[in-house]
């Protein structure tokens, strides 16, 4: 058996190696490292793939979130609602812009932002909601858009983990994750579902005016060269990353399918275990089939995350590492409990789900190159540990 990786970037690269090597050498020979034609080419390909009017590439997924909030013109003191159970980048940019983060609890089955908790958190100062499509699954966008329309709020989708996922609305139509709210953001960090070979990110919107504003913000607030109309930032995707992404984008659907195949194998192995809860792949408007079926396109499995309910999560984590099975605790601490984001405004009783998940979750190896022998070994190792404990 090949050694098991948490994310096998090398194995994936080897399948597109000659194409990537040639394209990267071409960029070097052209010397157009920044704002070259390759960036525009990738931007257009991604617009077509997502079915969105504007993609604005930038330097990373954290910048993308910050720039999206700047583009919406939010002012210090405005409240922004986001999930308590996610990577810190989301709350970090809210705080950096001197907006007020309002962390709310998540749903126990999808790990995504809880709709009733959003409703409870709305005040006259609320200006935006940032749903994070966590671990690759789209949040309940029907309900979120309804709340946003009712209260006149912006919706910024943090799509760093769910690029390629589809959301099926109540009326049956589908849209790509990240293209539903006012603006969506993503990360091309190497381990993300569409990763480059360094840092990268992008912002998506169907709003022409907002796209224009954002194109200036990413470029020092310039709309005309050397005329700075607003305070901006410097945030660029470089040409080397753009050619890598352009080559990988046509494979993205296959990459998502490979991840779902691995997820299906895991779920089959663990679904009947009394102390393991497998992740739910559920569109809000399609029944939860309990499997990872072909219509589970709402989930692209950035992570495959189990809940261990017998209190042995930390022991399992160590045991798997000893057996050569990488695994990770995403996330070990609720954001409202992190030193940087603690606040007297929060009440522990408002976060029952997140406070429970941080003790139970464990994410298994998940990437496009997992083979049957590796999957079998991982499943057998986990099941024999669970049965012995």
Q: Which chain residues interact with ligand PLP by CB under 6 A? A: 60-62, 86-87, 89-90, 132, 158, 160-161, 187, 189, 199, 201
Q: Which is nearer to ligand PLP, 245 or 375 (CB)?
A: 245
Q: Which is nearer to ligand PLP, 87 or 346 (CB)?
A: 87
Question: Smallest distance, Å, CB 387 to ligand PLP?
Answer: 33
Question: Smallest distance, Å, CB 385 to ligand PLP?
Answer: 28
CA distance 133 to 82: 11
Q: Which is nearer to ligand PLP, 135 or 154 (CB)?
A: 135
Q: Which is nearer to ligand PLP, 33 or 189 (CB)?
A: 189
Question: Smallest distance, Å, CB 133 to ligand PLP?
Answer: 8
Q: Which is nearer to ligand PLP, 61 or 216 (CB)?
A: 61
Question: Smallest distance, Å, CB 186 to ligand PLP?
Answer: 8
Q: Which is nearer to ligand PLP, 189 or 197 (CB)?
A: 189
Question: Smallest distance, Å, CB 97 to ligand PLP?
Answer: 15
Q: Which is nearer to ligand PLP, 256 or 382 (CB)?
A: 256
Q: Which is nearer to ligand PLP, 52 or 91 (CB)?
A: 91
Question: Smallest distance, Å, CB 237 to ligand PLP?
Answer: 11
3-state SS, one letter per residue, for the chain? CCCCCCCCHHHHHHCCHHHHHHHHHHHHHHCCCECCHHHHHHHHHHHHHHCCCEEEEECCHHHHHHHHHHHCCCCCCCEEEEECCCCCHHHHHHHHCCCEEEEECECCCCCCECHHHHHHHCCCCEEEEECECHHHECCCHHHHHHHHHHHCCEEEEECCCCCCCEEECCCCCEEECCCCCCEEEEECCCCCCCCCCCCCEEEEECCHHHHHHHHHHCECCEEECCEECCCCCECCCEHHHHHHHHHHHHHHHHHHHHHHHHHHHHHHHHCCCCCEECCCCCCCCCCCCCCCCCCCCCECCCCEEEEECCCCHHHHHHHHHHCCCCCECCCCCCHHHCHHHCCCCCCHHHCHHHHHHHHHEEEECCCCCCCHHHHHHHHHHHHHHHHHC
Question: Smallest distance, Å, CB 7 to ligand PLP?
Answer: 12
- Cβ distance 313 to 359 under 8 Å? yes
Q: Which residue has the tokens 């394209």?
A: 23
Question: Smallest distance, Å, CB 365 to ligand PLP?
Answer: 17
**Which residue sits closest to ligand PLP, CB atoms considered?**
61
Pairing between β-strand 79-83 and β-strand 126-130 as defined by DSSP bridges: parallel
């Amino acid at each position: 058996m090949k050694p098991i990786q948490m994310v096998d970037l090398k194995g994936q690269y080897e399948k597109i190696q000659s194409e990537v090597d040639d394209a990267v050498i071409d960029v070097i020979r052209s010397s157009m490292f920044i704002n070259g034609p390759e960036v525009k080419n990738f931007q257009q390909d991604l617009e077509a793939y997502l079915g969105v009017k504007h993609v604005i590439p930038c330097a990373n997924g954290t910048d993308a979130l910050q720039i999206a909030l700047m583009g919406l013109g939010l002012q210090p003191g405005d409240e922004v609602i986001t999930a308590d159970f996610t990577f810190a980048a989301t709350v970090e940019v809210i705080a950096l812009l001197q907006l007020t983060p309002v962390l709310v609890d998540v749903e126990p089955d999808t790990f995504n932002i809880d709709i009733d908790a959003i409703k409870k958190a709305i005040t006259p100062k609320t200006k935006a909601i940032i749903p994070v499509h966590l671990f690759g699954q789209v949040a309940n966008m029907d309900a979120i858009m309804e709340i946003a329309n009712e209260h006149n709020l912006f919706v910024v989708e943090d799509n760093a983990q769910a690029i390629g996922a589809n959301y099926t609305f109540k009326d049956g139509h589908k849209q790509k994750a990240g293209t539903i709210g006012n603006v969506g953001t993503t990360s091309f960090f190497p381990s993300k579902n569409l990763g480059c070979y360094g840092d990268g990110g992008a912002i998506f919107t169907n709003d022409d005016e907002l796209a224009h504003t954002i194109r200036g913000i990413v470029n020092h607030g310039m709309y005309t060269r050397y005329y700075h109309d607003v305070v901006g930032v410097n945030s660029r995707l470089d040409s080397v990353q753009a050619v890598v992404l352009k080559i990988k984008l046509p494979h993205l659907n296959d990459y998502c399918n490979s991840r779902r195949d691995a997820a299906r194998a895991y779920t089959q192995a663990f679904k009947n275990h009394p102390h393991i809860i497998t992740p739910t792949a559920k569109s809000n408007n399609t029944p939860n089939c309990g499997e990872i079926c072909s219509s589970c396109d709402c989930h692209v499995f950035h992570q495959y995350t189990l809940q261990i309910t017998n209190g042995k999560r930390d022991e399992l984590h160590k045991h798997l590492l000893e057996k050569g099975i990488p695994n990770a605790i995403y996330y070990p601490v609720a954001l409202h409990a992190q030193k940087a984001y603690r606040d007297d405004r929060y009440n522990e009783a408002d976060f029952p789900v997140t406070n429970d998940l941080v003790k139970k979750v464990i994410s298994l190896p998940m990437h496009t190159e997992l083979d049957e022998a590796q999957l079998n070994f991982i499943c057998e190792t986990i099941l024999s540990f669970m049965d012995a404990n």
